[in-house]
């Protein structure tokens, strides 16, 4: 279908491109950009909730790092926990970028209810307000960009756009502009409606399940205090990912599509925001579902790749894409033709993207050298093959008993005795109780039976 940029949010889609099910925008529109007026000093009212809330969660995040670097048990289990947290954070970012941003804020594509449900759940886990409030503020951000009608007005400075705007109540100009935004389409969506009605409940359920309950089941030797603190740490990291788009992407970078506006294309944010860093392009063409000129085939844009994958199974459809001709004309008219538009190597783009996305993994995991690994290397270097196989067999047995059998048997029955087969890094602080000790001894006999009749024969067969 051929539509103009001003008609994107208002007209009904009648004709579709049958080949790729995309809506192609080909009619150019002259940009009438008016630079924001000089900032008028305003006495903002303090938002006391955020004055206490934001410093508190940042303090807990610092405490989580302290626990991690001083109390973490190390080893493969710790690495697995960190991989899980980083991956869960990336999934939540899809809820923001593909869901609240491109689907609900801009209506850049349509989605069937299973995809909307998944994206709604992931957006809930980010705890960045409900979809309705997030989309309303983002529509105001685009319509009144870099003015007092924009809650993250970059004209008030970098710190204001990044985090400062949260510490104060909204500007009168912003409050006056809110009624001008049409949000009927948001309230007509039952997922948005019921998420808003029971937001606190869904936050506790989804966030608690993803970042506390599941890690506890997968890594039962970690304490609840540590898991809750790590939950808050990755929440803070995700908040700053979003805030960087409001601050850095409006100040530092290239303006290849429209050099008269503040938003920029920032290479680092392209990776951190999974394709959300092409901000100059996004403000020039906010209706483009891809958020970038080249999609995922020639740029690092996993969010677009995800949407296209769901389009293959029919869950995403009516994806709006700006034509190459209108991009060329707009760039020639308002853009900086000398600015970087895409990286030369797609392979290098993907490698850099994955490294930057998973930056918390080596930083958080590399807290200290594991002496056990050094000892193991020395052992295998100076021992015979049979001794090495026997050592590997015993190590695997210990790991199975530590991760599976011991936590299951001792989670609620924790005597002060230290069983001989327990992994040395796992310290069970149990209350001394005769009945609990008796149950524990029964379970100890069961574990010994499993070891001699099940685990040992299997491992002996595998390592023979």
Distance of CA 220 to the CA centre of its chain: 24
* pTM metric for this prediction: 0.70
d(CA 99, CA 311): 14
Query: What percent of the chain lies above the pLDDT cut of 70?
Result: 65
Q: Helices in 223-338 by DSSP H: which ranges? A: 224-247, 267-272, 279-284, 302-312, 324-334
Q: Quick one: pLDDT at residue 386?
A: 66
Instruction: State whether the Cα torsion 107-108-112-117 is positive or negative.
Output: negative
Residue 342: how many other CB atoms lie within 10 Å: 16
pLDDT tens sequence across 44-95: 788 899 999 999 999 999 988 888 777 655 555 667 788 888 899 999 999 9
- Is the per-residue pLDDT at 125 higher than 90? yes
Query: Bigger pLDDT: 121 or 347?
Result: 121
d(CA 64, CA 45): 32
CA dist 363 → 267, 356, 384, 423 (Å): 21, 11, 36, 26
CB 293 within 8 A of CB 278: yes
Which of 445, 402, 456 has its CA nearest to residue 75? Answer: 402
User: Average per-residue pLDDT in the chain?
Assistant: 75
d(CA 399, CA 284): 55
CB 156 within 8 A of CB 39: yes
pLDDT tens sequence across 12-39: 334 444 444 555 554 444 334 444 445 6
Query: Bigger pLDDT: 199 or 149?
Result: 199
Please give the radius of gyration of the chain, using alpha carbons only, rounded to the nearest integer. 27
Tokens of 329: 């004309």
Query: Bigger pLDDT: 316 or 425?
Result: 316
- Is the per-residue pLDDT at 8 higher than 50? no
Q: Quick one: pLDDT at residue 352?
A: 79
d(CA 266, CA 244): 10
Query: What's the CA angle centered on 355, arms 354 and 360, to 5 degrees?
Result: 110
Instruction: State whether the Cα torsion 152-157-162-164 is positive or negative.
Output: negative
pLDDT tens sequence across 305-354: 999 999 999 999 989 888 888 888 888 888 877 766 666 667 777 877 78
> Looking at 69-73, 205-209, 242-246, which range is the least confident one?
69-73
**Which string of DSSP letters, residue by residue, matches 367-417?**
SS--HHHHHHHHHHHHS-HHHHHHHHHHHHHHHHIIIIIHHHHHSS---S-
d(CA 396, CA 417): 23
CB 69 within 8 A of CB 367: yes
* β strands within 5-100, DSSP E: 22-27
DSSP letter assigned to residue 339: S
d(CA 91, CA 210): 10
Which of 11, 112, 15, 131 has its CA nearest to residue 317? Answer: 112
d(CA 61, CA 74): 19
pLDDT tier at 201, thresholds 50, 70, 90: very high
d(CA 48, CA 441): 54
Query: Bigger pLDDT: 363 or 26?
Result: 363
Dihedral of the CA atoms 387, 390, 391, 393 (nearest 10)? Answer: 160
Which of 100, 82, 106 has its CA nearest to residue 25? Answer: 106
Average pLDDT, integer, range 296-300: 82
Query: What's the CA angle centered on 199, arms 164 and 58, to 5 degrees?
Result: 35
pLDDT tier at 4, thresholds 50, 70, 90: very low
d(CA 315, CA 114): 7
CA dist 332 → 222, 265, 307 (Å): 57, 17, 29
pLDDT tier at 227, thresholds 50, 70, 90: confident
């Amino acid at each position: 279908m051929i539509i103009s940029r001003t008609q994107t949010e208002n007209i009904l889609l009648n004709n579709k491109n049958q080949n790729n099910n995309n809506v192609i925008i080909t009619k150019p529109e002259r940009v009438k950009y008016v630079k924001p007026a000089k900032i008028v000093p305003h006495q903002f009212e303090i938002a006391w909730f955020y004055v206490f809330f934001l410093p508190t969660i940042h303090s807990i995040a610092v405490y989580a790092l302290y626990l991690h670097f001083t109390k973490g048990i190390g080893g493969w289990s710790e690495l697995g926990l960190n991989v899980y947290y980083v991956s869960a954070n990336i999934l939540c970012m899809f809820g923001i970028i593909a869901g609240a941003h491109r689907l609900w804020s801009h209506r850049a594509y349509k989605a069937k209810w299973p995809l909307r449900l998944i994206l709604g759940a992931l957006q809930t886990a980010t705890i960045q307000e409900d979809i309705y409030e997030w989309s309303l503020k983002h529509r105001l951000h685009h319509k009144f960009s870099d003015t007092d009608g924009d809650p993250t007005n970059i004209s008030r400075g970098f710190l204001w756009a990044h985090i400062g705007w949260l510490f104060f109540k909204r500007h009168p100009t912003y409050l006056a502009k809110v009624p001008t935004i049409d949000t009927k389409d948001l309230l007509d969506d039952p997922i948005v409606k019921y998420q808003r009605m029971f937001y606190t409940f869904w936050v506790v359920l989804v966030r608690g399940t993803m970042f506390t309950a599941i890690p506890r089941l997968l890594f039962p030797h970690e304490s609840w205090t540590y898991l809750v603190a790590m939950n808050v740490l990755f929440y803070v990291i995700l908040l700053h990912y979003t805030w960087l788009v409001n601050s850095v992407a409006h100040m530092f970078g290239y303006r290849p599509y429209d050099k008269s506006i503040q938003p920029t294309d920032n290479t680092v944010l392209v990776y951190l925001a999974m394709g959300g860093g092409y901000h100059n392009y996004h403000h020039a063409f906010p209706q483009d579902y891809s958020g970038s000129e080249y999609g995922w085939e020639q740029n690092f844009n996993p969010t677009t790749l995800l949407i296209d994958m769901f389009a293959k199974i029919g869950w995403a459809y009516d994806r709006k894409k700006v034509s190459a001709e209108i991009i060329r004309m707009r760039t020639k008219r308002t853009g900086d033709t000398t600015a970087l538009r895409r990286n030369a190597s797609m392979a290098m783009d993907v490698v850099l993207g994955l490294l930057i996305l998973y930056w918390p993994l080596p930083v958080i995991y590399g807290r200290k050298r594991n002496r056990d690994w050094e000892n193991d290397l020395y052992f295998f270097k100076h021992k015979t093959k049979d001794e090495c196989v026997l050592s590997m067999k015993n190590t695997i047995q210990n790991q199975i008993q530590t991760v599976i059998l011991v936590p299951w048997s001792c989670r609620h029955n924790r005597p002060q005795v230290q069983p001989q087969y327990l992994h040395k890094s796992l310290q069970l602080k149990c209350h001394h109780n005769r009945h609990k000790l008796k149950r524990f001894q029964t379970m100890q006999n069961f574990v010994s039976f499993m070891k001699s009749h099940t685990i040992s024969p299997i491992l002996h067969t595998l390592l023979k």
